Amino acid sequence: MEFSVNNQPVPIEALTFREMGYGQWTFGKAIIPCRIAMTRTEALDSFAQGYDEYISDLKEDERFRRRGEDADYDQLVALAYPPLPKLLEYAPRLVEYLLGGPMALGHVLPALFPGKRPGCRFSINAIDRAEVSEIEIVLHCSVFAI
């Protein structure tokens, strides 16, 4: 995996994320662009368990959802909740949505940055978008200096 802040390489140890206030305030600190790039294999290794948990939660809540309310959810149902490798193959745009949206805080960031991380220089404020290509998956984030 490759990590960069403001187009400068940084070690993984320089980054962390926060649950409280995720995507909201930055204590008046400037937002800085961050890029996390990984191969598809690295992404599958990192996110498969979180994806399975996310899908399990969706299935439990299925009776409370109505078709047509969420096009991305409807697409997952239509594809019969495929395993993550198949979803990457058949619906990469849906993977982009999941990694940058509903899975970001509960599954993506904890998989990349487990446990307490003392000495970090930057906190991820949000995953702004994800990009899936044939070779890699890139998370475009906004961070602020700690």
Note the pLDDT tens digit of each residue in 60-104. 888 887 777 888 889 998 999 999 999 999 999 999 999 999 999
- Bridge partners, 33 (sequence order): 142
CA-based torsion, 116, 132, 102, 79: positive or negative: negative
Identify whether the C-beta of residue 118 lies closer than 8 Å to the C-beta of residue 54: no
Q: 17: closest CA among 134, 143, 132?
A: 143
Rg (C-alpha) for the chain, rounded Å, is 16
CA 48/CA 128 separation, integer angstroms: 21
- Bridge partners, 35 (sequence order): 4, 140
pTM exceeds cut of 0.75 = yes
Pairing of β 122-132 and β 15-17: parallel
Scan for tokens 């309310």, then name that residue: 69
- pLDDT tens for each residue of 28-55: 899 999 999 999 999 999 999 999 999 9
- Is the confidence at residue 13, as pLDDT, over 80? yes
pLDDT at 117: 74
